[in-house]
A and B are shown apart, each in its own frame.
Chain A
């Protein structure tokens, strides 16, 4: 094990996959000479040259589509979006082309491409730059959606995403790049579609992903432990495909479920999880599934308002108390 930052783990994943397969190239804004807006691509230009680490103009739709075209004829592009907020400009290429190529061609074409970049609130950036947009992408058939929370998962999943033959939406945490944790040495791959039980427990299940794990759920679980409540924490890692089995197994054990997500409540990922659980584990539930989400408003710049908008340890504890009928 080596302790690495989230950004360093991603950098290792990119470098290892580019070393392994010359068809892999990285394109995006500031990825080459600038070494990445968040330094994920540090050193890659020097190592792999200017055809494989490409500084794109600020044309998200254009270079997203260029990547899709390259993937249609055998290359394996990794397209960096400086943030997922900007990728909204590229939605047409991601949704109407990448996600549908295999289908529209009746299985003649495949589209092995990764779109990656930071999502979620960045810290004092107001509304256009503080959006957790994963619910948009999980909606579309044909896409896979990953949102790792730790350096080890970030590395293992990015490597798996690059080797996958489908379009993968890879959402990093804008505030996670500096997070330091252990990463296994050597070849480290994580199967797409498998959740990870980050903390086993028996009293309540808390499902989460991305930054909410370390920012909210882990501290909440520790606080609950001091009160004698043993929370089981599930990190989804993969939002599409979803590991239903791990969630249902946990709910069968704890009989209570809280979902903590950074995004908005209406049609959020947690809403679908609640739907699945009420349908498939109804008899196991001792309380309604409860969600802690970002508030249904645009993000304010002011520090106190920004804090109040996002899920917090306090709101998570309150939700857990609710499903445990504690006051």
Chain B
């Protein structure tokens, strides 16, 4: 694991991966206690994807994903207690308890959501990247989705447009091998998803998604590629989820040995731990202390969610229609009384100057009119 990252950064990455795992373990427990209900898709096993990606991006780059969406916003800086409160269906959640597990939004941290229809977020990301290019911003959009989404029409339609218009968007296929209970290879003519980029004349890459440093290096390179105007990228990250697709999935479609092999030999947290110990960046006792802190932080997230009230009934009809003069909800301000919330703002009206020439004019020679043509 050769890297130029500082020891502090490596430790922070380790801490975040361990936090995401513990958070999801606590969410799984809370589900067992019926504090969380409905669909709940845990991220356990895939932590290196979220954390390696996060460290390679700027804070105001746009990000969004599908419904396995608890980890990414926390890695972006969201308040774990408020994420847990949303999972609990409480008013202290990011969406006031309207969205739950599958619809986490933290716009303050440029986290544009979790979406429950497979592949539905893929065109949105192209639109966000379109807006960045339209306004001449130096911003990248990162959109992740699972392997199964690569077989949706939205994937193909969007990649064609994103590449043709050179939109600054990185599409990350978090390939955990199973679309619910179906092995991706069973339903895909080409199961190596990154190879599909060729058809759209875009750059396609793959990386070991269980190696946080490899993920980081790759994302750094791809973000530079996008920012320099070279168009979109498809990155396949090979990863693995230890739990079922959702809480109701007993995962009978794969062997115990397969899961054990992944956990024992490829686990992203253990791999970074080895590196930290070998390079003497951290000691066993230091990491133990760190895990204690993380456990405490996650217990606090549960306590925060437990203490948060249900949304008031007066909120029943809210957040369906908005007038231009209505304010947007700023969750941290509403829930925690935070005064330092930075909200995205964009040029209004004709403050905006559009200089992008999306399709430079090429002279068209009209065909000569034919007599009697239909």
A contact residues vs B (CB 8 Å cutoff): 20-23, 25, 32-33, 49-52, 54-57, 59, 61-75, 77, 92-93, 96-97, 101-110, 141-142, 144, 163-166
Contact = CB atoms under 8 A, between A and B. Distances in A.
Interface string B339-372: 0000010111111111011111100100000000
A13 B326 CA distance: 25
A62 B158 contact: yes
Most chain A CB atoms below 10 A, which of B96, B134, B344, B353: B134
A163 B154 CA distance: 28
Most chain B CB atoms below 10 A, which of A33, A49, A107, A164: A107
A66 B130 contact: yes
Nearest to B130: A70
Interface residues of B, number: 68
Q: Nearest 10 A-B pairs (CB), nearest first?
A: A69-B127, A65-B123, A62-B157, A106-B95, A107-B329, A74-B346, A69-B124, A59-B157, A70-B127, A105-B105
Interface string B295-331: 0000000000000000000000011111110101111
Interface string B90-105: 0001111111000101
A141 to B, nearest CB: 6
Interface of B: 62, 93-99, 103, 105-107, 112-113, 115-117, 120, 122-135, 153-154, 157-158, 160-161, 164, 318-324, 326, 328-331, 344, 346-354, 356-361, 364
A22 B98 contact: no
B160 A105 contact: no
Nearest to B127: A69
Most chain B CB atoms below 10 A, which of A68, A73, A142: A73
A62 B154 CA distance: 6
A72 B127 contact: yes
Contacts of B93: 106
B336 to A, nearest CB: 15
12 contacts: A59-B161, A62-B123, A65-B127, A66-B124, A66-B161, A70-B127, A70-B130, A92-B120, A108-B328, A108-B331, A110-B322, A142-B321
B143 to A, nearest CB: 9
Contacts, number: 198
A72 B347 CA distance: 14
A92 B293 CA distance: 43
B161 A50 contact: no
Contact of A61 (B112, B153, B321, B364): B153
A73 B346 contact: yes
B131 to A, nearest CB: 5
Contact of B158 (A33, A65, A103, A141): A65
B126 A103 contact: no
B127 A22 contact: no
B131 A50 contact: no
A72 B161 contact: no
B134 A25 contact: yes
A292 to B, nearest CB: 31
A51 B127 contact: no
B349 A20 contact: yes
